[in-house]
Structure 1
């Protein structure tokens, strides 16, 4: 391969890069770990459930993926600090990629939400993402080419039923994407966010059982279907590639087109 071909190949590879992916045992997070590993990255992931972590690590080991993992509840500050200390030790003080994926939802009408619901969702979805960025900043800066990718949601872009607190956390994520992109550009750290639409994951298993809701929702999606985790993980991987080096501060909706479908009829 000539020198020009080698440069092109390197632009589309994550070989030699390190990554931290939170919530990597299932759904979108699981797909992200496999996508990044497939492109050559070495990854550390975490989740709250030790059994789940051990199972996926075993499976990835059989596939030859260079992935380590640890137990961490990202809603707890001390556990976040311990996680980044561990990552710093494993990757020798440098980190190329941080994917803030861990998150959850409590579907309730606004009048039914409790103070406990508010605190839990804010700490799990938003505070954890912000604090982990602060903790990871020195490692990302030290790498010389840092990338942060937040997994947000279209709920942070438009109104969605019974999701007011969840939507607020995702709207906040979308805003800090822009702020950190501007603040940390001088440190060669790019920051972007992906806002998935309705994706087939364990988080929406209950909703998926409501066939009428799924029919109604997908009738408003121009592509007329629910998305797959791999359709989000591929966007994450692209944003982390050297080929995407001029993209920062963006919130990319990977949603089948629902957020731009303003006046087209629901069924056509």
Structure 2
């Protein structure tokens, strides 16, 4: 099968569309590159315009089909706008949604405040769940949708001074199973990758 820039010739993502949140750094950046290398057309987002522009230029030079826009995923209206933009870009269908954007804060459980709670639970869980809701009709329209949550082993085992992070990822792992069951009828696969913290 045809692909761009090497990799395993036994499979391809040619003709597939993918939205990867938080694609300008770390795991998200690697996912964007791998998808594009296997022929997918990728859309990503970042809160940082300069960082996004630099990554888009880098990917263009590599011959990858990657577009993106600035989006603060913690803001509900910006998530609405992101999905509107992405579905227009992909002509009303999304094959793959990767919920990668996340945040953490390390503190003793007794030290977490109400102000700490919202950013962690909001970014790691609420944002991902809402994007799944928004993307559902477009994943269904593709006929072969796939959602991937980038979770953490912290959602499976105890991690010191990371109780809120662990709670957000544990919740993500649980909802992965629920959505996989609920949306199987729509030909949408839902999985979580439990990365090391």
Scaled by the length of structure 1, the TM-score of the pair is 0.70
**Partner Cα separation in structure 1 for residue 35 and residue 161 of structure 2:** 33
**Partner Cα separation in structure 2 for residue 117 and residue 47 of structure 1:** 21
Equivalence for 2:71 = 72
Instruction: Spell out the pairing of 1:101-180 with structure 2 (5 A cutoff).
Output: 101-180=100-179
Structure (1 or 2) with the larger CA radius of gyration: 1
Please list every run of at least 4 consecutive aligned residues from structure 1 whose deviation after the TM superposition is greater than 2 angstroms: none
**Partner Cα separation in structure 1 for residue 102 and residue 73 of structure 2:** 9
Equivalence for 1:37 = 36
Instruction: Spell out the pairing of 1:1-268 with structure 2 (5 A cutoff).
Output: 12-198=11-197
SS at match of 1:34: helix
**1:48-77 deviation line (CA, Å, top 9, x unaligned):** 111100000010000010000101111110
How far has the Cα of 1:148 moved from its partner?
0.2
Aligned-residue Cα RMSD (Å) equals: 1.1
**Partner Cα separation in structure 1 for residue 160 and residue 11 of structure 2:** 39
**Partner Cα separation in structure 1 for residue 53 and residue 30 of structure 2:** 17
Structure 2 unaligned residues grouped into runs of 5+: 2-8
**1:60-114 deviation line (CA, Å, top 9, x unaligned):** 0000100001011111101100000000100010000000000010111111101
- Equivalent pairs counted in the alignment come to 190
How far has the Cα of 1:12 moved from its partner?
1.5
**1:100-144 deviation line (CA, Å, top 9, x unaligned):** 000010111111101011011111110000000000001100000
**Partner Cα separation in structure 1 for residue 73 and residue 145 of structure 2:** 21
How far has the Cα of 1:27 moved from its partner?
0.2
